[in-house]
Amino acid sequence: MIEVNNIKKSFGDKVVLEDISAVMEAGKCNLIIGTSGSGKTVLTKCMVGLFKPDSGGVSFGGQDMLAMNDEERKELRQQIGMLFQGSALFDSMTVEQNVMFPLDMFSTLSHSDKKKRVNEVLARVELKDAHKKFPAEISGGMKKRVGIARAIVLNPKYLFCDEPNSGLDPQTSLVIDKLIKELTQEFNTTTIVVTHDMNSVMEIGDHIVYLYQGRKEWEGTNKEIIFSKNDLLNKFIFASEFLQDAKDMRMLEMKGKIANDRNMDDLLQ
Ligand SMILES: Nc1ncnc2c1ncn2[C@@H]1O[C@H](COP(=O)(O)OP(=O)(O)O)[C@@H](O)[C@H]1O
Ligand SMILES: [Mg+2]
């Protein structure tokens, strides 16, 4: 679990984060959404310790990051897996070498055990026969899989994904989203996904924090979004008239279902 407690952050006289608090639970995909410039990246950077908030703090598993000593902070870093925007693979390294990199940096495993672990995670993200390929030789979706394999190779407790779908077609995006969700549940990681992909929001949004101009404007689940009356959120999520109509239809449909279920209950009593 990660707790964000009353984080404030300004650059000069520009307030970028205004008193943000949120609880990100383990085993869930916690999404941070909002238009560009709303503070998503600054918030995630504060969470992983790349920025120091002006006030407030972040705790991991109940431990305040700012109160940690160097040793504890180093240990925490190793429990954080990161999938960077655009995958950020090393171009001069093969897929296998890319995934091996965190093991070379942080683990004391023997070379053959490292290879075994690399094989395991590459199999887990369903990448076979790509070990010896270079990033330039594989598709965008495959690159993301390599990025995910590298992010989970050290068995992280916390997984941060910045725009995991950028540059992918909708179908491949969905496959990557589902993979992130499966891994989150399988390993009970506390997963943070920064996204403005509405498919992701609806597909994997167990918990969604909507930022608007540095404020937490709305918080809830993907199911609650359908019923939300928050105008700013609705404008952001259901930007087109088409989607607004789809939301209204879905709401009517779900209301009907709820009403029907109630009738069923009445009949059964
Ligand atoms: N290092 C920085 N110095 C000054 N301003 C910054 C810095 N990083 C981000 N900002 C400003 O903070 C605001 C939020 O940025 P960011 O978190 O990157 O937005 P998002 O990720 O939601 O698109 C923007 O107005 C941006 O210009
Ligand atoms: Mg950003």
DSSP states of 126-182 as a string?
Answer: T--S-TT--GGGS-HHHHHHHHHHHHHTT--SEEEEESTTTT--HHHHHHHHHHHHH
Q: What is the pLDDT of residues 168-210, one digit of tens each?
A: 888 888 989 999 999 999 999 999 999 988 888 989 999 999 9
Spacing, Cα 33 to ligand 2 middle (Å)? 10
Instruction: Tell whether ligand 1 has an atom less than 6 A from the beta carbon of residue 42.
Output: yes
Q: What is the pLDDT of residues 215-244, one digit of tens each?
A: 999 999 998 988 889 999 999 988 778 888
Say yes or no to pLDDT of 268 above 60.
no
Instruction: Tell whether ligand 1 has an atom less than 6 A from the beta carbon of residue 38.
Output: yes
> Is 30 within 8 Å of 205 (Cβ atoms)?
no
Q: Which of 2-11, 108-117, 196-205 has the lowest mean pLDDT?
A: 196-205
Say yes or no to pLDDT of 264 above 60.
no
**Arithmetic mean of pLDDT, 147-169:** 92
From the number of C-beta atoms within 10 Å of its C-beta (0-12, 13-18, 19+), residue 8 rates as middle
- The residue ranking higher by pLDDT, 237 or 93, is 93
Q: Which CATH class is domain 2-79+156-237?
A: alpha beta
Q: pTM of the predicted model, to two decimals?
A: 0.89
Its sign, for the CA torsion 79, 85, 90, 95, is positive
**Mean of pLDDT over the chain:** 91
Q: Which of 6-10, 164-168, 188-192, 207-211 has the lowest mean pLDDT?
A: 164-168
Instruction: Tell whether ligand 1 has an atom less than 6 A from the beta carbon of residue 11.
Output: yes
- The residue ranking higher by pLDDT, 52 or 88, is 52
Listed in order, the ranges of the chain carrying CATH 3.40.50.300 are: 2-79+156-237
Ion ligand 2: residues, CB < 5 A: 40-41
What does the pLDDT read at residue 266? 59
What does the pLDDT read at residue 70? 92
Instruction: Tell whether ligand 1 has an atom less than 6 A from the beta carbon of residue 33.
Output: no
How far from 223 is each of 110, 204, 226, CA to CA, in Å? 46, 10, 6
Spacing, Cα 107 to ligand 1 middle (Å)? 34
